[in-house]
Amino acid sequence: MTRPLDETHDASARSWVTSANRPGTDFPLQNLPLGVFCRRGSGNIGRIGVAIGDEILDLCALAEADALGGIGPEVAGALRAATLNELMALGRPGARAVRRAAFALLREGSAVRSHAAGHLVPAVEAECLLPASVGDYTDFYASIHHATNVGRMFRPDNPLLPNYKWVPIGYHGRASSVIASGTGVLRPIGQTKEDAAPAPAVGPSRSLDYECEVGAWVGKGNLLGSTVPIAEARDHLFGLCLVNDWSARDLQRWEYQPLGPFLAKNFGTTVSPWVVTQDALEPFRVPRSPRPEGDPEPLPYLDGREDRVSGGYGITLEVYLRSAVMRDGGLAPMRLTSAGFGDMYWTMAQLLTHHAGNGCNLRPGDLLASGTVSGAEKSERGCLLELTARGTEPLTLPTGESRRFLEDGDEVILRGRCEREGFAGIGFGECRGIVLPAQMLPG
C-alpha cells in the first residue's frame, strides 16, 4: 500500500529553528502540530500557531500579513480565527496546506525565512488554550485490556459484557468542562455510599483517578441523517491529542447504574494543547490490532481493507505523577506506566464510523476520546483503579509517600510519542493537571 508521504516527512529535513533539530524533541520540522495560544499577559485572545522546537510560530499573524505561500484565501481566513474550528471544517486538505506552507517557511535554507521575523514566540512566554471550541465530547472504551481489568473487579467470572466485541462502547461526555492542559482540577464533591452504610453521604471524592487516553478532533463534519463510511473516516479525523479523563471512582460506583457515567466524570477533562495532524501521523500508522482466535470479526460497516492495514497509530503513551512533596523537593515526576496505543480493540476510524452510524451528526471541533489505554501487563495500566487494583495494591513514590488514588497537590502528566525507523520521531507535548482541594460551594 502506498502511503501519502511527501517531502514534509523527510527525516533528513532540518529547521533553522535550532531547538527543532534537538534529538528527542516532540516538535521537529516533521511534526508541525496546530494549536491556539496567547502571549502571557496579553489577555486571553487566542491565536492559531504551530509548535516548532521550543517556539511557536504565529500562523495568525502570518495569515494576516499574507505571508504563507500557497494556502489560498479560505485557509488564510480560517487561520485568522481564535480557534481551529474553521480550519477543522475544511478537513484534511486545509491542514495539509498549512503543513506544507509552515514546512517551507521553517526548513533550513528556506527562501522565505524572513517572513517569520517577529512571529516566533518562545513557548515559555506563551499560554496554550483549548485548540477548538468543543461542541460535543464523546468518550469510548476501546481498550479490551482496560475493559477486562475493570470488568473483572465487578464480575470476576465474566469480565467482558456480551456486547463488547461487537459494538464500540461509548457515552456522551460533557463538552463544557473540557479544559486546557495546565488548568487545575478541583476535587469533586458528590454522593458516595459505602456498602454497609444505610444511606449515601455527600463529600469530597476519596477515590480521584486519572485516565490516560488519546483524543481525536473531528475535522470535516457530517450532516444529521448521513453516515461516514469507514473508508472515509480518516478524512473526518483532523488530528489527535492526549486526554486525561479525570474520574471520581467512589461517585462513579454509586451513580453509574443504569445510565453510565455522570458527575463522576464531568468535572474536568484535560486535553493536550497541540493537535498532531493526520498527515504528521501518517508514517506511524500500524495495522489494526488482530483479534484473538475465536473473536468475531467486526460487522461489515466497521470493517475495511484500509482500516485493517493501517487503522492503528503507533503511539507510546506514558503517565507521570508528581506529588506536592516531590515538587517542593525538586524531584522529577515519577513514571507510573507506559502503554502502546497500537493494540486497541477498536480503531479511531471504527469509533467515528460507529458514532455516525445512526445518522448522528459530528461537527468540526467535536472531541472523541478512546477510553483508558491499557495493555496486558501491570506496567501498562492506564489508570489507578487498575494499577492499584482498586486501591488494594498502593504505589510508593520516591518520597516514601503512598498512593491508592490521587491526593490534593498531585500533578498528573501524560506524554505520547511516535517512533519509526527511517522517520523523525514526533511527540504530543504534555497533558498536565494538578489536583486542587475540594471547595464547598455556598448554598
Interface with Ca ion (CB under 5 A) = 139, 211, 245
Nearer to Ca ion, 32 or 339 (CB): 339
* Distance in Å, CB of 390 to Ca ion, minimum: 16
Q: Is there a contact between 50 and 32 (Cβ–Cβ < 8 Å)?
A: yes
Write out the E strands in 294-425. 312-313, 316-322, 334-340, 367-369, 395-396, 402-403, 411-418
Cell 485572545, residue located: 45
Burial class of residue 4 (count of CB atoms within 10 Å of its CB; 0-12, 13-18, 19+): exposed
Nearer to Ca ion, 53 or 170 (CB): 170
Q: What's the rounded Cα separation, in Å, for the pair 45 and 149?
A: 43
* Distance in Å, CB of 143 to Ca ion, minimum: 10
Q: What's the rounded Cα separation, in Å, for the pair 399 and 337?
A: 18
* Distance in Å, CB of 372 to Ca ion, minimum: 5
Nearer to Ca ion, 55 or 136 (CB): 136
* Distance in Å, CB of 246 to Ca ion, minimum: 9
* Distance in Å, CB of 66 to Ca ion, minimum: 43
3-class SS shares of the chain: helix, strand, coil, % to 5: 25, 25, 50
* Distance in Å, CB of 319 to Ca ion, minimum: 14
Q: Is there a contact between 265 and 252 (Cβ–Cβ < 8 Å)?
A: yes
Name the residue type at position 34.
L
> Which residue, judged by CB position, is nearest to Ca ion in the bound state?
245
355 carries an active-site annotation? no
Q: What's the rounded Cα separation, in Å, for the pair 130 and 180?
A: 5
Q: Is there a contact between 352 and 368 (Cβ–Cβ < 8 Å)?
A: yes
Nearer to Ca ion, 32 or 264 (CB): 264
* Distance in Å, CB of 269 to Ca ion, minimum: 9
Q: What's the rounded Cα separation, in Å, for the pair 134 and 266?
A: 14
Q: Is there a contact between 333 and 320 (Cβ–Cβ < 8 Å)?
A: yes
C-alpha grid cell, residue 218 = 473531528
Active-site residue identified among 119, 145, 146, 236: 146
Nearer to Ca ion, 55 or 245 (CB): 245
Nearer to Ca ion, 103 or 428 (CB): 428
Query: Residue 104: CB partners within 8 Å, gap ≥ 6?
Result: 69, 70, 110, 112
Nearer to Ca ion, 26 or 211 (CB): 211
The DSSP-derived string for 224-268 is TT----GGGHHHHEEEEEEEEE-EEHHHHHHH-TTT--STTTTT-
* Distance in Å, CB of 245 to Ca ion, minimum: 4
Give the phi and the psi of residue 74 in degrees, each rounded to 5: -65, -45
Measured at the alpha carbon of residue 93, what is the angle toward residues 421 and 350, in degrees to the nearest 5?
65
Q: Is there a contact between 87 and 48 (Cβ–Cβ < 8 Å)?
A: yes
Nearer to Ca ion, 211 or 411 (CB): 211
Q: Is there a contact between 82 and 43 (Cβ–Cβ < 8 Å)?
A: no
Q: What's the rounded Cα separation, in Å, for the pair 424 and 279?
A: 13
**How long is the chain?**
443
Active site residue ranges: 146
